[in-house]
Structures are given as structure tokens and as C-alpha cells.
Structure 1
Amino acid sequence: MKKPIAAKKQNLNLQKRSLATPTDLEAAATKDIMGAMNAILADVYALYLKTKNFHWHMSGPHFRDYHLLLDEQGDQLFAMTDPIAERIRKVGGSTLRSIGHISRSQRILDNDADYVEPLDMLAELREDNKTLAARLREAHNVCEEHRDIATTSLIEVWIDETERRTWFLFEASRRGDAIGH
């Protein structure tokens, strides 16, 4: 009777090991890249949900413009998630598995307030996007150190997109009297 249990355990171990996609990267590189990119993935999910939260709870005289801006930005953030997770898997790593895993890994803070002023929403998202850009640069350095050119190439595009979101949030929240200052 012990034989079937041992066979089951061995089969489970083989299944676990089969998730490690073959790669020419060293195990240490896979571990470092996986750690950096899973943190990015958690931050992107957190920023996506915060952006959608503010999109859903937007109000005021600029409602339509801000609502549409945040919807567009939310779509862009969500579009990042699958390529990030797939890069982690392609280099032999495993990725986030649950909302709990995201919440334990995210560095972008949630905002559960009942009401947030529209300009405060834009300012908070602007700062979060600036933070994400800085963290993407840090992840780029990790990937570059391990010569993971494909991931660094994707990160460069995501940095540009993140800087664009930051710029749009900045410009959307400027007051007319601040122009030229």
C-alpha cells in the first residue's frame, strides 16, 4: 500500500518540476528576475484596481474627461499583466497565484476611502505611476544584469507607457493659472 502513495508523491514532484520552463539562464538569474517581475506584476494589478476604483467613483464637472482617461489607463495597465506573467514563466519562474499573493507582494498602496476629490485621485495616480516607472527601472537593471534582453525590451516599452500616463495625469490636473510655471 505504501508503493502507490510513494508513486503519487513522485508524480506530484515531477509535475511541480515540469513548470520550470527550460531556459539558458542560470537558476540565480531566474530567481532574481522572477522576484523583480512578480513585484512589478503585483504593483501593476494594484495600480490597475486603484485606477478602476477611481474611474468608477469619479465625480464633478470634469467627470467625463477623467472617467474616460482612467478607463483608458486601466485598460493599458491590465494589458501589461499577461505579458509580465508570461515573461516570468518563459524564464523558468512561477508567477502570482491569487489576490492574496498580490496583496502580500504589492508596493502600491490601496485607497479604500469612501470619497476622494477628483484632483486628489489624479495626483495619487500620478505619483503611483511615477513610483511604478522607478520600480520598472529597478527591474530593468536586474534583467539587464542577467542579460535577459527580451524582458528588458518589454520593460522599456512599459516605462514609456507609464511615463505617458504620468504626463497625462499631470496635465489633466493642472489649473489654468499654473500654465508656464
Structure 2
Amino acid sequence: MNNFEPKDLRMSPLRTRSNFPQEIVASLAGELNALLADVFCLYVKTKNFHWHMSGPHFRDFHLLLDDQGAELFGAIDDIAERVRKLGGTTIRSVGHLSRLQRLSDSDADYVTPPDMLAELREDNLRLSTYMRETHGLCDEVGDVASASLLENWIDQAERRTWFLFEATRS
């Protein structure tokens, strides 16, 4: 440690300096970490269903879920890095993820393809709701950078929801 760092930074070596008071950083980090846990959960579920897809539409659904999984995976690092930029800390373990996630896992031995797509559709819909709630907090405290990222992630979640909805229409 050097003598030029503010005392509070020496006491918390992972705290990145930001323009936000620590209470706001804690609130934003808490919301973003919950989103991170949900995105991780949805990523794993999407890959699970991708790997276990079967039936006459196998190829189309397998590729759809591969694309959606890649999109979710792409958001994971951005969310975690945003938490760090704000001055917070982020997920440290699978246990930590499981304590924060609000979306449910799928451990079933077999799920029909229509049920897979319907479950992912509802999870993406819920995720976009959580993202809007977090966006509201960002607006309230003036975190325009997180709000901007969230707008893109909301759009992605709505697109995934739309594709899953259309894929399950009779």
C-alpha cells in the first residue's frame, strides 16, 4: 500500500474508486450480482436443453439454443466487470451463484422439447423483468452506464423470448 491511497481504499483493497457512495455501490452490486446469477443459471439451463434436445425439430432447436447460450455467455463477463467498475465485488463460487439466483434449475432426466422451449421462454421473460427492475434502480441513482448495458440485455432477452414463443406455436 502506498500512502497516497485514501484510507478507505487501503481497508478494502478490491474496492474500485467510483463516483458513487458505498451504499449505492452495495445496492447496485447486489442487484447486478443477482442478475449475474440468473444469467448463469439460464445459460446452464439453455446448454442443458441444447445438449439434450431430441425429436423431429432437433437441428433447428439445437442450433437455436446454441445461439441463445452463446448470447447469455457473452453477457456474463460484462455483468461481472460492471460490478467491479462500480467498486463492488462479484460472484465467487457456484454456491454463491445458487444463493443469489431467482430462476430455477432443471435437473430432470427428460424434458420434452416443447416443455424445454416453454421453460426457457418463461425464464427469459422473468429475466427481462428483473433487468427492468435493476434498470429502475440505475435510473434512480444516476448509473447511466449500467442502464445502457441493461437496455441491450433487455432487448436480447426479449428477442430470445420472441424466438422461443414463435418456435412453440402450433
Name the TM-score, length of structure 2 as normaliser.
Answer: 0.93
**Correspondence 1:1-181 to 2 at 5 A:** 17-175=12-170
Following TM superposition, the consecutive aligned residue runs of length 4 or more in structure 1 with deviations greater than 2 angstroms are 13-16
**Deviation per CA, 1:101-156, whole angstroms, max 9, x where unpaired?**
10111011001000000000000000000000000001111111110000000000
Residue 16 of structure 1: CA displacement?
6.4
Distance 2:54 2:72 in 1: 22
Q: Computing the radius of gyration over CA atoms, which structure comes out larger, 1 or 2?
A: 1
Structure 2: tracts of 5 or more residues without a match: 1-7
Whichever residue aligns with residue 121 of structure 1, its letter is: M
**Deviation per CA, 1:49-77, whole angstroms, max 9, x where unpaired?**
00000000000000000000000000000
After superposition, the Cα gap between the structure-2 partners of 1:16 and 1:75, relative to the gap in structure 1 and judged at 3 Å, is farther
1:93 match: secondary structure: coil
**Deviation per CA, 1:16-52, whole angstroms, max 9, x where unpaired?**
6121000110111101100000000000000000000
Residue 167 of structure 1: CA displacement?
0.1
Structure 1: tracts of 5 or more residues without a match: 1-12, 176-181
The answer as to whether partners of 2:41 and 2:105 remain within 8 angstroms in 1 is: yes
Whichever residue aligns with residue 99 of structure 1, its letter is: V
**How many pairs align?**
163
Task: Name 1:8's counterpart in structure 2.
Answer: none
2:54 match: secondary structure: coil
Percent identity between the two aligned chains:
60
2:128 match: secondary structure: helix
**Deviation per CA, 1:141-178, whole angstroms, max 9, x where unpaired?**
11111100000000000000000000000001111xxx
